[in-house]
Structure 1
Amino acid sequence: METIIVYLNNMFASLPKTLEMQRLKQEMLSGMEEKYLELKRAGMSENEAIGIVISEFGNIEELTAELGIHPAAPEQALPMLTEDEAYEYAAAKRSSGRWTGLGVLLCASGVALLIAMDTLFENYGSEDMGSLLGMVGMFVLVAAAVGMFIHSGMKLDRFKSLEQGFQLPYTLRMELQHGQALYAPTYRLALITGVCLCVLSPALIFAAAYIDDDFAPYGVSAFLLMAGVAVFLFIYYGNIQGAYTKLLEEPFIAAEKKEEERIAGVVGAIIWPLATAAFLFTGFVYHRWDVNWAIFPITGILHGMLNNVYRILNRGKVSS
């Protein structure tokens, strides 16, 4: 069957890399696979089955002529990814997710520590000391988080060549699809757990404020820690799912998709630091830890809205 896959890839190598071509290729692959299995069940040998399948489905010129499709300019064939390279990328992606998730959790822990120390020492009449200790602790944790982010990025640097496209052997693709199916329940459970933690975390603020208004900052600290754990789950398990998605995607990358990801990254790089600055400013200047936690979910909603608006407008331009 792998011989048929290679033959089909060579047939489509000179054709435009469009969604229409990819759909046509998948339809032909499904038909060839079905015919191949039918011939094998009929008792034919491997070579006989492959020869018949190729003879029946191998005339791409007539099909493209009917569709009015002309071959594109010849280009270099995409490299074939080996099994070792695929699993090394998956392992690096998993490790990167772990370090990135821990870094985010440390950042949240640093802010939580700052709030808790400031409130604790304020109750004992030494607010300056609490702020100093909290700031030192926060910067230590943030510095460690930055180191984790750098380490995480360096793990994936050697796989940048995958962005140029690649092919997978048929057997390896089947193995990865099977692994993705087995991983799906774990990924689903991680998402459900993370969402539940995000939904329940604000309750800690209300519970602390209900006991005593002075305890509200401690509730904010607990909220940040719980939200940090939720984000860790999203990043770590999302990276594993992302590795499967990347390895199993079609052997071309749409320019529109890459541009959307770039714009989303730029928006996130601006909006989230602003949200964090607003959170700290309203907390330390106005002491509104009981309500300013809402800045983060509101920012998340705005971020998603901006990305969706850009995607809709961009697709509208492409279609017109």
Structure 2
Amino acid sequence: MHVTESPFLHSAKQVIAIEQAAIGSLSDRLGNEFVQACEILLRCSGKVVVSGMGKSGHVGNKIAATLASTGTPAFFMHPGEANHGDLGMLSPNDVLLAISNSGETYELLNLLPVVKRLNVPVIAMTNSNSSSLGQHADVVLDISVEKEACSLGLAPTSSTTTTLVLGDALAIALLDARGFTSDDFALSHPGGSLGRKLLLKVGDLMLIGDDVPLVPTHATVTEALLEISRKGLGMTGVIDKNSQLVGIFTDGDLRRILDAKVDIHATEVDQVMTRGGKTTRAQELAVEALNLMENHKISALMVVDEHHHPVGAFNMHMLLKAGVL
């Protein structure tokens, strides 16, 4: 039996198809103008001031935020407010990124005489080089679309999508050119899970001192189990006479020896432990330790120094509590 597609789904799929086509066309048009825009932005010793009215302004706000968080100092300036005093935000060392689909937005055009007097470069995102904004810009980035996704052809949809994508392209091209790293990114995202994942180190959350589960190689399995129970990490490190970590004994190891009917009271732990085992360093990022644990399907890690002496331990629960997981 034929099932008629919901009008909602039909409409949504049409919108997505139209906007996909618009982005594809944008990619095909990228050329020397994009390179020139990137070079201007890279040379900028001040800030990138993004400006636009209406929907272009909303998109511009996001573009400014993306630039700022990826190594290009930027902020959004509302052109209406700029006409009434906020243009003082602009300095001669800045670059103006002006967004107007039509290129005829009065509030933006009204700023140009002052912008030009300050000798501030203007990068325009507009649908026409011949528009008023396009004619007065140093570089024009084409955001034209064949049609808006709005069935009435009125609401900015495809055009705002291409503008947003082009803004992301600028931000990431500049990020790559600057050699911007995850550590740099973390400095501008100290709050929330991004900051915690990128800044928190193993040494910030590991157990230390007497809280670290450790037994000597000659300890019995029973003694190792008592240490695991006391420290609550589901494992214990095993150290030799030089206090170097030589292995790990875990709940999983216990299950295996119980299946083999090993005498846990008489057997020494070094006979049944996992030799070596995965370890990390206190200076490693917590997110890197998390990746190690996930890749090897383990729930706890010993932390060692450069001489392979155990200095700490932690588990998945501690990563979760710290907001890394």
Identify whether the pair has TM-score above 0.5, normalized to the shorter chain: no
> Between Structure 1 and Structure 2, which shows a larger proportion of strand residues?
2
TM-score under structure 2 normalisation? 0.26
TM-score by length of 1: 0.26
Of the two structures, which has the highest relative contact order with CA contacts closer than 8 Å and spacing of 6 or more? 1
